[in-house]
Structure 1
């Protein structure tokens, strides 16, 4: 198992570091709610990963690969949500300036569009995450080991690595907190993340 864990860790770290909707939504949380907003959003993403790891360990996520209809429904729902998040970020540019990121987040809070739920829903509605786990994890399961339990263990380690990455991202944000506190800069960052989220949504909807 140790021989499989090292290459899995290397591969997982490289994948975690790749920019994607999960990372972007955490950055959005940082921009809109400061460090607390980033922590809460990251917690939502991690809980979404827990759902997918559990589904992979139980064999449920394999249904996504077997059912094109189910995959497409979840894919379009995820794409629509990313588009909605992006549009909400762009619309926030019209709101009056807030003196702090926390106040900006409070003024722009819209249920599933911010904080924990933004991270959780973004992850859970992305079927590529589920397909990734059922395609990626089995290649590192040693012969003779329980598929379900080993999948859960490797998935848990992947979640831990993701949590470390988010912790580093949030930690680094503290060094630019003063810069981000400038309303003009924060609005530009919010606009940029909004545009990229719209791009991710369009790409997810367009992928077969």
Structure 2
């Protein structure tokens, strides 16, 4: 079991470090809402992962994998959601010079609602069927012979969530060193726009990929 756990941990770290929608939506939360926005978005991402891990341990993700209609429907919904939040970020490009000047005076700033960051993180995960398929095909592969697939999958899933939480915490802590720079109106506007373009790209790829 120890060898399986270490092997799984190494593979999980590599997967988590690969840039994807989760990382980008957390960065977007940091840009738009500062540390609080990053924490809220990270919490949403982690809750979404919990749902998928529970589904994988119960075998529900396998049903999704077997259902082409269900998989495609969720994939399209997830792609559309990523495109939508990407477009919301891109709206910063349409803001006028007077808006930017007002921000410079401290009278305006884009913020996330109390639940906006959380829901962005949660829906980004829960509407991505590839995460469910990843768990149903990835986690059981590390279960040693003689161990319960369901319970061991749940345990490995908990490890994956814990590693993801550490990664998100690292992003939030690291943001503190550049917080002032990130909150400069012009820089914040450009970062928001870049995040929007990449989110739209992720959304299109998710919705159209076979």
Range into which the TM-score falls when normalised by the shorter chain = over 0.9
Cα offset, 1:103, TM superposition: 4.1
Offset from partner CA, 1:57-116 (integer Å, 9 cap, x none): 00001111100000000000000000000000011344534467x94115xx497xx310
Find out whether 1:147 has 2:149 as its counterpart: yes
Partner of 1:77: 77
Paired residue secondary structure (1:104): coil
Alignment gaps of 5+ in structure 2: none
Matched residue, 1:5: 5
Matches within 5 A, 1:158-169: 158-169=160-171
Q: RMSD between aligned alpha carbons?
A: 1.6
Q: For residues 25-44 of structure 1, what are the structure 2 equivalents within 5 Å?
A: 25-44=25-44
Q: Residue 83 of structure 1: SS of its match in structure 2? A: helix
> 2:179 aligns to what?
177
**Number of matched pairs:** 203
2:67 maps to: 67
Instruction: State the distance in 1 between where 2:194 and 2:93 align.
Output: 11
How far the C-alpha of 1:144 sits from its partner, in A, is: 0.8
Residue 200 (structure 1) aligned to one of 199, 202, 209: 202
Q: Compare CA radii of gyration and give the structure with the larger one.
A: 2
